[in-house]
Amino acid sequence: MSVGYSEEHIKTLEWREHIRLRPGMYIGKLGDGSSQDDGVYVLLKEVMDNAIDEYMMGNGKKIDVSITGREVRVRDYGRGIPLGKLLDAVSKMNTGAKYDSKAFKKSVGLNGVGVKAVNALSSSFVIRSIREGQVKHLEFEHGITIKDNPVEPTTEENGVEVVFQPDEGMFGNYFYMSEYVDSMLKNYVYLNAGLIINFNGNKFLSRNGLADLLNENMNKEGLYPIIHLKGEDIELAFTHGFQYGEDYYSFVNGQNTTQGGTHLIAFRESIVKTIRDFYKKDYDPADIRSSIIAAISIKVEEPIFESQTKTKLGSKDMGPEGPSVRNFISEFIKKQLDDYLHKNPETARIILKKIQDSEKERKAISSIQKLARDRAKKVSLHNKKLRDCRMHYNSNDANKLDSTIFITEGDSASGSITKSRNVETQAVFSLRGKPLNCYGLTKKIVYENEEFNLLQAALNIEDGIENLRYNNVVIATDADVDGMHIRLLLLTFFLQFFPDLVRKGHVYILQTPLFRVRNKKETRYCYSPEEKAKAISAFGSNAEITRFKGLGEISPNEFANFIGKDMRLEPVRMKKNDFINGYLEFYMGKNTPDRQDFIIDNLRIEEDIVEEEK
């Protein structure tokens, strides 16, 4: 049957309606705050970007930020938005000062959208602009103007104050994780040396820029002192560490480009070319960049990002007659790094030895690498260990942030997830038995061990996480001793060989219910004994209680409830203060007597737990 198509089918949405209907176009995914790229943090970032742009233009030296429950407050001390245009600036699309490059030469991006998205997606949005002894105060709910107060006199310092609360109707039962906010705000001060950000009683300040950023994110000192190079519109810092893979932090006009882009590609290429020219030898790029940890920040006029959330820089010229971004970065590194290495021969010697050591290790595993890859293809084909999805993280799809792979144990659990998953965004990788404890082993084991080799191939991280196929790597094991053991073995594998997977926030633990409590009218899934007790209390004596002992016991129809929009994921987080090598050595090393003593000293028997629950 044909569908009618006439004038009434053509609709024009108001700005706020379009943002609320298609939030992904403006802030990426919504999320509940458990992931760093969830929308609640993007809203904060959009407000912060405007405050940072004021600082970059030489206005204001501090920014005050507070989060109380779900209420967010940001106060800058810049020039303030012109009072007569305040309403337009926060409620009319394509309205803003950043279209005039004289007012904001190298801002994060056009403000025709950002703060409007915050307004539209907040249940409460209040903005105050203070300029030259006058203040303008506006209040909104869900993007609708509630109060448009007249201009009044004030003695406050110039600037803008924004107070908003993300809409629970859009974001669900969300929350803010202080460590994610800390990380965001620290990046701002690293990129703007001298800026002070006060957040919930903590003061963030950086004197050494990107060198401070690297020190904050390294668990121990690098092989040599951080090389820190600065020029007009460019700053970079790097050293080599002891981890496997490459670890990068990249920024454009203060925006953390988590997916890299043109500038990061240019940096990686230029490091290789300069090193080769300096040592006059054609070293393999992988050997030069192995274990590197680096940060690069550039400033360009009117940068071209590949999405509204500005996580990847596209190709862009520096100016009408200037060099391309790639050429600009290449020329800077070629001159500055070459000069540095000539002036610091000890650092040059250490870098050379690191490259040679990496070359030896790479050649040691090259003989088995091809066999391992061939085996991976054959085993994957016959055993179907990987049930792939259609969308991938390294694709250009707008919803690629949702791409997820579940790492499961056994055929029954894999079967339940496979039958209930979203085939567009969710893949399943099935383990066979317990993985090897790889602590203290070399990367050669990745290719010799079938499970690890196949897992690495499935994630597409053989050459680092730049081509990672899934944004969310979810460990889905049973909530018992064996399941916990497998979880620890997988985390050991990631931390040993691919720590940037954890550091960049890609690894999660799937939370599945321990109990099902139901009566004839309602079913509740309970993730803890406390939730079970509440359900039993609500249902009374007619409650039927089921204890899920393993994922394989949960039917596919039920499993769909646990891996859908209400999926509970616990992020695996890593901070600078986490002594990773020490943890791995204690829990996964050969010190069995020490672990036994620890277990005995911290043992909780079943009777104790039951008594506590009462």
Query: Is residue 536 assigned to a domain?
Result: no
C-beta separation of 368 from 374 below 8 A: no
By residue count, the chain amounts to: 614
User: Quick one: pLDDT at residue 285?
Assistant: 92
Inside any domain, residue 519: no
What pLDDT score was predicted for residue 134? 93
224 has a pLDDT exceeding 80: yes
Give tens-digit pLDDT for 430-451. 888 788 888 877 777 777 788 8
What's 82's domain CATH number?
3.30.565.10
Q: Lowest mean pLDDT: which of 127-131, 331-335, 370-374?
A: 370-374
Q: Whose CA is closest to 291, among 232, 352, 222?
A: 222
Q: Cα–Cα distance between 275 and 283 in angstroms, integer?
A: 8
Residues 6 or more apart from 507 whose CB is under 8 A from it?
A: 473, 474, 475, 491, 494, 501, 571, 572
Residue 530, domain member (yes or no): no
Please say whether the beta carbons of 408 and 487 come within 8 A: no
CA dist., res. 567 & res. 560, Å (int): 9
Residues 338 and 404 in one domain: no
Instruction: Please tell me the distance from the alpha carbon of residue 141 to that of residue 122, in angstroms, as a whole number.
Output: 7
| 573-598 confidence digits (pLDDT tens) | 876 555 566 667 767 777 667 777 77
- C-alpha closest to that of 241 among 224, 264, 266: 224
pLDDT digits 0-9 by tens, 117-126? 899 899 999 9
Residues 6+ apart with CB under 8 A from 21: 13
Q: Residue 548, Cα to own-chain centre: how many angstroms?
A: 32
Residue whose pair of structure tokens reads 């999805």 in the numeric block: 389
199 and 247 assigned to the same domain:
no
Q: CA 197, CA 87: separation in Å to the nearest integer?
A: 27
- Structure-model confidence comparison of residues 483 and 62, the more confident one: 62
Name beta bridge partners: 292.
240
Q: Please list, in sequence order, all residues whose beta carbon lies within 8 angstroms of the beta carbon of residue 563, skipping any fewer than 6 positions away.
A: 406, 417, 420, 421, 422, 426, 510
For helices 450-459 and 345-383, the axis angle rounded to 10 degrees is: 100
Tokens 């799809």 correspond to 397
Alpha-helix runs per DSSP H in 280-324: 285-289
Average pLDDT over residues 176-204: 92
Would you state the pLDDT for residue 613? Answer: 46
Position 462 scores a pLDDT of 78
Which CATH number do you get for residue 248? Answer: 3.30.230.10
Question: What is the pTM assigned to this prediction?
Answer: 0.70
Query: Please, which residues bridge with residue 430 across strands?
Result: 408
Q: Residue 33: its pLDDT value, please?
A: 86
* Chain center to CA of 600: 38
Instruction: Based on the fold, state whether residues 228 and 162 are members of the same structural domain.
Output: no
402 to 23, 440, 494: CA distances (angstroms): 14, 34, 21
Domains in the chain: how many in total?
Answer: 4
Do residues 398 and 418 both lie within one domain? yes
Nearest CA-CA partner of 500 in 204, 328, 319, 289: 289
The total of other beta-carbon atoms located within 10 Å of residue 331's CB is 13
Question: Is residue 187 domain-shared with residue 224, that is, in the same domain?
Answer: no
Nearest-angstrom CA–CA distance, 303 and 518: 55
Q: Which of 77, 75, 91, 97 is nearest to 148 (CA)?
A: 91
Q: Two tokens at 424?
A: 């567009």
238 and 356 both lie in a single domain: yes
CB 220 within 8 A of CB 206: no
Task: Report the pLDDT value the prediction gives residue 9, as an integer from 0 to 100.
Answer: 46
- Could you give the CA distance from residue 539 to residue 85 in angstroms, rounded to a whole number? 56
Q: How far apart are the first and last CA of the chain?
A: 62
Sign of CA dihedral 17, 20, 25, 27: positive
CB 187 within 8 A of CB 44: no
Residue among 165, 157, 197 at smallest CA distance from 52: 197
pLDDT score recorded for residue 109: 45
Q: Quick: pLDDT tens for 1-21.
A: 455 545 554 444 576 777 777
**pLDDT range class, residue 370, cuts 50, 70, 90:** low
The DSSP code for 261 is B
pLDDT of residue 562 exceeding 90: no
Percent of the chain with pLDDT over 70: 83
Residue 286 pLDDT > 60: yes
With left for phi above 0 and alpha for psi between -120 and 50, is residue 384 left, alpha or beta?
Answer: left
Q: Are residues 446 and 356 in the same domain?
A: no
Whether residue 219 sits in one domain with residue 321: yes
607 pLDDT above the threshold of 60: no
Helix (H, G, I), strand (E, B) or coil at 401: helix
Check: CB of residue 573 under 8 Å from CB of residue 509: no
Segments forming the whole domain that contains residue 319: 210-360
Q: List, in sequence order, every residue forming a beta bridge with 196; answer none if it has no partner.
A: 62
Please name which of 422, 417, 507, 431 lies closest in space to residue 471, comparing C-alpha atoms.
507
Task: Record the tokens describing residue 369, joined without a space.
Answer: 């690498």
Sign of CA dihedral 186, 210, 42, 28: negative
Shared-domain flag, residues 423 and 445: yes
Is 163 inside any structural domain? Answer: yes
Same domain, 330 and 405: no
**Per-residue pLDDT, 410:** 76
The dihedrals phi and psi of 185, each to the nearest 5 degrees, come to -70, -35
CB 121 within 8 A of CB 27: yes
Count CB atoms within 10 A of the CB of residue 373: 14
CA distance 497 to 490: 11
Q: Which residue from 406, 409, 408 is spatially nearest to 423, judged by alpha carbons?
A: 406
Residue 228 or residue 417, greater confidence: 228
Whole-number pLDDT of residue 586: 67
Residue 198 has pLDDT above 80, yes or no: yes
DSSP 162-222: EEEEE-HHHH-S----HHHHHHHHHHHHHHSTT-EEEETTEEE--SSTHHHHHHHH-SS--
Rounded average pLDDT over 95-113: 46
Mean pLDDT of 66-93: 89
pLDDT at position 426: 93
Quote the pLDDT of residue 464. 75
Cα→Cα distances 144→40, 71, 91, 458, Å: 20, 18, 9, 47
Task: Please give the residue that has the higher pLDDT: either 556 or 74.
Answer: 74
pLDDT tens sequence across 511-533 = 888 888 998 888 888 888 888 99
Residue 541 CA, chain-centre distance (Å), reads 46
For residue 508, what is the domain's CATH number? 3.40.50.670
Asked if 32 and 142 sit in the same domain, the reply is yes
Using only C-alpha atoms, the chain has a radius of gyration, in whole angstroms, of: 27
**Residue that wins the pLDDT comparison between 467 and 104:** 467
Give the residue from 146, 175, 203 where a domain finishes: 203
Residue 235: CA count within 13 A, CB half-sphere: 19
Q: pLDDT grade, residue 409 (50/70/90)?
A: confident
Q: Please tell me the predicted confidence (pLDDT) of residue 100.
A: 45
The answer to whether 570 touches 511, Cβ cutoff 8 Å, is: yes
Identify the pLDDT of residue 581: 66
- The answer to whether position 229 is within a domain reads yes
Q: Which residues contact 381 (CB under 8 A, 6 or more apart)?
A: none
Is pLDDT above 80 for 93?
Answer: no
Q: Are residue 586 and residue 572 in the same domain, yes or no?
A: no
Residue 169 falls inside a structural domain? yes
- Percent of the chain's residues with pLDDT above 90: 33
The answer to the question of residue 531 being in a domain is: no
Average pLDDT over residues 494-510: 87
Is the pLDDT at 34 greater than 90, yes or no? no
| pLDDT for 513 | 86
Q: Looking at the domain assignment, is residue 528 inside a domain?
A: no
Residue 4: DSSP 8-state: P
- CB-CB contact of 7 with 290 (8 Å): no
Residues 394, 372: contact at Cβ < 8 Å?
Answer: no
